[in-house]
Structure 1
Amino acid sequence: MNYLTDEQVAQLAPDASSLKAGRDLSHEHKWLNFQSNERVLWGEVQGSGKNPYQTQIDLTNTAFKCSCPSRKFPCKHGLGLLFLVAKKNGEIPQITEEPLWVSEWINKRSAKVNKPEPEVEVESLETLSEQAEKQAQAKAKRQEERYLKVQNGIAELELWLKDLAQAGLLALPQKGYAYFERMAARLVDSQATGLAGLVKAFNKLDYFKNDEWQKSALELMSKIYLLIESFKHLEQLPPLIQEEVKSRIGWNIQTKDLLERDDVESLKDHWLVAGRQTTIEEDITIQKNWLYGLKSKRNALVLNFSFKGVGIETPILPGTIAHANLIFYPSHTPLRASIKNYISTIDYLPEPITGLNSWDEVHEKAVEVLAQNPWTDIFPILIEQVHIVFNQGKYYLQDTTQTIVPLSSAVSQEQIWKLLALTAGHSVSLMVLYHFDSVTPLGIINNFAYHLLD
């Protein structure tokens, strides 16, 4: 079987407590039995009840099921079983015949994935034309209603932004949390969730540590103002820039609609899943998967969402290479994508990849990206021969020209220790998220291997 590494399993944990509990269950003596075959892994573990918990994992599409009462996904038992397999390097009992409780579940999943397209009753061309026209009219009406809602929200935001600018940056710390949340809530009601996120970002600034917040606040105000002006002149912009503006405002295309379109970019490649970031905002789990195409040398961002802790099923795993066909959301600088067809996964680089040689080259690339898309605030990039240094209480990454760039404040001490342990202070090739004023290391590339840092 193609087993996952310890690092890859850790990426699946829904929270820190599940991760710890899963590791505690990675010992063979805690399991009554565990087996696998090419498509499914299963095991039984004694819990607090009379009957053992039955845990099973779909190895083809990375899905979980467990008879325990936990509402977390995956639960600690699923994580524990995967950690155990990783610890044993996949050397666990292999049998073809599955228990009934396993085969019933995996067969249903397989049938669902391979379900044939339902037969469609042939209708007359006239009937189909009428239906298509009605659907088009209904869609146009919904779009117009959405446009008016967004327009009203943006008009209110423009007045709010002018008041903010007239009061001056130094008045921001006294505004208080509720001031920004109220404006964000009104934008959500207007279906402009992207703008709501920018307004909420004011509450994430550290107004009391130093004066660096002033630069960040000015950037936020500038991005909001540029979006407002772009929306007001939307019809005068090129079509793909219109799509980008609407997306930044929060007017997104549904994945289902995207997959049905034939005018968007589709790209098949071996995609390095360079890293994953998971955040929770108001009961919504947001999963960001950063991908890098080995042949196309293209970056991609695959977003997944879930509500109130519902598990996210995705075939791509951080630290692996996914052979897949991605379909990109329309934009003049396409980055966000969805998986159109997933083919397979490998855990090694089929060929070496090279990156930029200095932070100066990275900065030049960043300027190009920003010139094309002024709302860009982060993008992944590979830089070679950098090592970690410590200076005046901060950690930096230094290149061969002695130029340094600070690590992002979001990088944990544990990640820094892991980077130091893996590199021993030597220079390595790093995949990083570049934030223009700092970087977040994602993983180390060493010949044909990729080592996650998170």
Structure 2
Amino acid sequence: MNYLTDEQVAQLAPDASSLKAGRDLSHEPKWLNFQSNERVLWGEVQGSGKNPYQTQIDLTNTAFKCSCPSRKFPCKHGLGLLFLVAKKNGEISSAIEEPSWVSEWMNKRSAKVNKPEVSTEEEISPEVLLAQAEKQAQAKAKRQEERYLKVQNGIAELELWLKDLVQAGLLTVPQKGAHYFERMAARLVDSQATGLAGLVKSFNKLDFFKNDDWQKESLELISKIYLLIEAFNRLDQLPPLVQEEVKARIGWNIQTKELLERNDIETIKDHWLVIGRQTTIEEGLTMQKNWLWGLKSQKNALVLNFAFGGMAIETPILPGSIAHADLAFYPSNTPLRATVKNYISTVDYLPEPISGLSSWNEAHAKAIDILAQNPWTDTVPLLIEQVCIVFHQGKYYLQDAHETILKIDSTVSNEQIWKLLAITGGNAVSLMVLYQFDSVRPLGLVQNYEYLLLD
């Protein structure tokens, strides 16, 4: 089986307590039995009840099911079973025949994915089908027009609000209070401009007391919002792909089903190295950002996954792994966001060595080129070679071969920095990073045919 490493399993834990409990259950004597085949891993573990808990894991789409009462996904038993397999390097007993409680679940999942579409051409005449298609197109156009008017009204109100904010001056921003920004964001949500609402909410994430750069960051937020307003007001004058980018930033999201049905979508088949993951939880919504790097195409990709109320996120791509897959990219003049169109397999090692940029100046030039095409860009994934950690005036930096330094982002913990120091011994290495123009976030270490995830 294609087993996960200890680090990859840890990435699946919904919280710290589940991670600890999962590691505690990774000892073989605690399991009554455990086996696997190519598609599923299963096992039974004695819990507090009379009957053992039945745990099963879909290895193709990384989904979990357990008979325990936990509401967490995955639960500690699913994590424990994966940790156990990782300890044994995947060398566990295999079985072709599955227990009925395993095959029933897996067959239902397979039937759902492979459910054939029912043909209606023989039952409905072409004239009726054409009439239905025209009716659906008209209804869709009407909905789009209604939404456009809603967004237009919301943006008109936002423009007045923004001008008042600027006229009062940046020094008044900390005095506004969280409710001032939340109220404007709520109005934008009502106007179906959720992307703009997210930008407005970002004011409440600024640290006005400990961060000396809050005025600069406030001005950047104001500039991005104003630029989106102006772009929307001139939407019909922009190139088609720029229009798509502007609409996506405002909050017009293309549904995955619609994306995959379009013929004009860029699709790339490659071995995709999952260089890192960022997970945020806000108002009950879990958003998972998966950053990918195409080994042959040298293209970056961002795959977003969402879940409500602590539900599990099913995805075959895991940080640190190499996914052989087709990615479909959302339309943009600088396409980055993508969705997995066809997952083929997981590769255990880099099929070929990869090379990156040689200096921060080269990285900055690349980022500026992207920014010129898409002014709302704030993060650029890239591979930088021959960099080492240096400590200067109480802060950590990454120094390139030309002794140019770039500050490590403040969100990177000391534990992550110490881990990188321990692995590299202070020597220069090749790093995958998220370049953020004035700071950088290390994601992983590239060594020959291996990728070592830092988180």
**More divergent stretch after superposition (65-74 vs 388-397):** 388-397
**What is residue 255 of structure 2 aligned with on the other side?**
254
**What is residue 187 of structure 1 aligned with on the other side?**
188
User: SS in structure 1 opposite 2:303?
Assistant: strand
After superposition, residues 107-146 of structure 1 pair within 5 angstroms as 107-122=107-122, 123-146=124-147
Amino acid corresponding to residue 107 of structure 1 in structure 2: N
Cα deviation for residue 96 of structure 1 reads 2.0
**What is residue 18 of structure 2 aligned with on the other side?**
18
**What is residue 217 of structure 1 aligned with on the other side?**
218
Structure 1 unaligned runs (5+)?
none
Structure 2 unaligned runs (5+)?
none
1:214 and 1:88 map into 2 onto residues whose CA distance is 52
> Would you say how many aligned residue pairs link Structure 1 and Structure 2?
454
**What is residue 167 of structure 1 aligned with on the other side?**
168
Q: Alpha carbons of 1:242 and 1:88: their partners in 2 closer, same or farther (altered >3 Å)?
A: same
**What is residue 436 of structure 2 aligned with on the other side?**
435
Amino acid corresponding to residue 198 of structure 1 in structure 2: L
User: SS in structure 1 opposite 2:378?
Assistant: coil
User: Is it true that 1:378 corresponds to 2:379 in the alignment?
Assistant: yes
Cα deviation for residue 211 of structure 1 reads 2.9
Amino acid corresponding to residue 126 of structure 2 in structure 1: L
**What is residue 152 of structure 1 aligned with on the other side?**
153
User: SS in structure 1 opposite 2:430?
Assistant: strand
**What is residue 403 of structure 1 aligned with on the other side?**
404
- TM-score (normalizing by structure 2): 0.98
CA contact (8 A) 1:388 1:398 kept: yes
User: Is it true that 1:296 corresponds to 2:287 in the alignment?
Assistant: no
CA contact (8 A) 1:35 1:41 kept: yes
Cα deviation for residue 54 of structure 1 reads 0.6
Amino acid corresponding to residue 305 of structure 2 in structure 1: N
After superposition, residues 199-214 of structure 1 pair within 5 angstroms as 199-214=200-215
**What is residue 47 of structure 2 aligned with on the other side?**
47
1:342 and 1:210 map into 2 onto residues whose CA distance is 43
User: SS in structure 2 opposite 1:140?
Assistant: helix
1:393 and 1:19 map into 2 onto residues whose CA distance is 32
Amino acid corresponding to residue 171 of structure 2 in structure 1: L
Amino acid corresponding to residue 265 of structure 2 in structure 1: V
Q: Which runs of 4+ in 1 moved over 3 A?
A: none
CA contact (8 A) 1:319 1:347 kept: no
Cα deviation for residue 120 of structure 1 reads 2.7
Amino acid corresponding to residue 351 of structure 1 in structure 2: E
1:351 and 1:79 map into 2 onto residues whose CA distance is 31
After superposition, residues 53-68 of structure 1 pair within 5 angstroms as 53-68=53-68
**What is residue 95 of structure 1 aligned with on the other side?**
95
**What is residue 285 of structure 1 aligned with on the other side?**
286
**More divergent stretch after superposition (345-354 vs 28-37):** 28-37
- Cα deviations by residue, 1:383-411 (Å, 9 ceiling, x for unpaired): 00111112221111111111111111111
Cα deviation for residue 112 of structure 1 reads 2.4
CA contact (8 A) 1:357 1:384 kept: yes
State the percentage of identical aligned residues.
80
**What is residue 30 of structure 2 aligned with on the other side?**
30
Cα deviation for residue 18 of structure 1 reads 1.1
Cα deviation for residue 210 of structure 1 reads 4.1
Please report the RMSD computed on the Cα atoms of aligned residues, expressed in angstroms. Answer: 1.1
User: SS in structure 1 opposite 2:130?
Assistant: helix
CA contact (8 A) 1:270 1:323 kept: yes
Amino acid corresponding to residue 381 of structure 1 in structure 2: L
Cα deviation for residue 116 of structure 1 reads 2.7
Amino acid corresponding to residue 239 of structure 1 in structure 2: P
2:84 and 2:215 map into 1 onto residues whose CA distance is 49
Cα deviation for residue 347 of structure 1 reads 2.0
CA contact (8 A) 1:444 1:451 kept: yes
User: SS in structure 2 opposite 1:147?
Assistant: helix
User: SS in structure 2 opposite 1:119?
Assistant: coil
